[in-house]
Amino acid sequence: MLRIGFDSSPLLPGHPPGVQRVVERSLEALEQRGRIEVVRLTPDSPDGLRSWRQRELPRTVRGRELVGIHSFVSALAWRGPGHRVQTLHEAPWRHGVQENADLRHRFWAWAGARRASAVITPTAATARDLGLTSGRLARRTHVIPWGVGLPFEGEAPPNSMDEVLLGKYHLPDRPLLLCPGAVRAKKNLRATLEGLAHLKQSGSLPVQLVVTGPDTPDLRTSLGLVQRLGLTRHVSTPGEISDADLAGLMRLSCAVSVLSTSEGFGLPVLEAMACGTPAIVPAGGALEEVAGAHAIVVDPTEASSVGQGIVQALDTREELRTTLTERASRFTWEDTAQSIEQVWEGLA
């Protein structure tokens, strides 16, 4: 059995929740399948992460006789024996986004892809953004989509009702429009707010916007825009919520709006579909690739287009429920794990 070291440092505090979900669910699926021996490698704290990765990991490969190291992020152990597998989630600098677009991230996206034995991206759109679709890099690049699982499913768990969440989070009994985790600038909450403002100016605002996630400077900036657009009564910010409650809110919503300026995959899009809820996404790119033919595709730069997308979601949500859950069922963490195994078996 192949013994593979998995850099599990993204599970430490400070990493994006989406990346943490990818790491934990992928490792769980790999461990359950049992085809390769998963050796989790995690430093004691996030302090000194760079030194740990470059000094300790190569020694660990030798000491524990590992075939190599799998990194769920772009940074990897540069020197030392064994193979390296790198994960490139997105290329935000290609889309004018500042988050994770500094020289360090760009270096790893360029040089790391040339050092690694294999590179994983979650979508073909990301591979294109990073220039990994031709030449030697294309032969080493593998598109492996992420998965979805419980609690994201089409029906509430037995002996529970999603509607109790309305009282728990003080939400009105009207159609909800959900923006999960839209508390960072790259999530482009502004586009959804301007779409709502367009509907309000047209004489109707049929939904309550729910923005989940912690209080951040970017969220406070967005709330200032909420006030200027006259949307204060139509926007709720319940803060951080559990995955179980997030799934319940998705089932209660007419749509999940994910209009990120840059995204390499977009787990909320897949999670929404698993709950039978359509996703409103920008045209082109990774989000539309994940959502497929049943996405509600809009132009985020046009408030009228976003507004029309919201109305379309209200009109079609129920008829799309079955087809959405069927599409989401094609994305499983077991399939993700199997593809990772195949990469390593090919290297070994």
**For 155, which DSSP code?**
S
- Is 154 part of a structural domain of the chain? no
Cβ pair 67, 83 in contact under 8 A? yes
pLDDT of residue 46: 81
pLDDT of residue 15: 87
- Is 273 part of a structural domain of the chain? yes
161-213 pLDDT, tens digit per residue, is 999 999 999 999 899 999 999 999 999 999 999 999 999 998 888 999 999 99
Could you give the number of structural domains in the chain? 2
101-140 pLDDT, tens digit per residue, is 999 999 999 999 999 999 999 999 999 999 999 888 999 9
Q: Is the pTM of this model over 0.85?
A: yes
- Is 45 part of a structural domain of the chain? yes
- CA torsion angle 26 13 245 243 (round to 10): 0
Residue 265 to residue 37: CA distance in whole angstroms: 27
180 with 199, same domain?
Answer: yes
pLDDT of residue 246: 98
214 with 274, same domain?
Answer: yes
- Is 158 part of a structural domain of the chain? no
175 with 136, same domain?
Answer: no
Cβ pair 35, 341 in contact under 8 A? yes
Looking up residue 143, the CATH number of its domain turns out to be 3.40.50.2000
Q: Please, which pLDDT band fits residue 93 given cuts at 50, 70 and 90?
A: very high
pLDDT of residue 249: 98
Cβ pair 249, 241 in contact under 8 A? yes
Cβ pair 125, 145 in contact under 8 A? no
338 with 251, same domain?
Answer: no
pLDDT of residue 48: 87
Residue 111 structural domain? 3-147+332-347
| Helices H / strands E in the chain, number of each | 15, 12
Determine the 3-state secondary structure of 179 from DSSP.
strand
pLDDT of residue 335: 98
Phi, psi of 283 (to 5 degrees): -70, 140
Cβ pair 175, 206 in contact under 8 A? yes
Residue corresponding to tokens 């709330």: 223
187 with 322, same domain?
Answer: yes
pLDDT of residue 97: 93
pLDDT of residue 242: 96
Percent of the chain past pLDDT 90, that is, above it, reads 91
45 with 102, same domain?
Answer: yes
18-73 pLDDT, tens digit per residue, is 999 999 999 999 999 999 999 999 998 888 899 999 999 999 999 999 999 999 99
87 with 19, same domain?
Answer: yes
Residue 55 to residue 225: CA distance in whole angstroms: 47
Sheet arrangement for strand 176-179:
235-239, 208-212, 176-179, 253-257, 279-282, 296-298
- Is 157 part of a structural domain of the chain? no
Around Cβ 85, how many Cβ atoms within 10 Å?
24
121 with 170, same domain?
Answer: no
Q: Please, which pLDDT band fits residue 322 given cuts at 50, 70 and 90?
A: very high
pLDDT of residue 126: 97
pLDDT of residue 283: 93
217 with 317, same domain?
Answer: yes
Q: How far is CA 30 from the centre of its chain?
A: 20
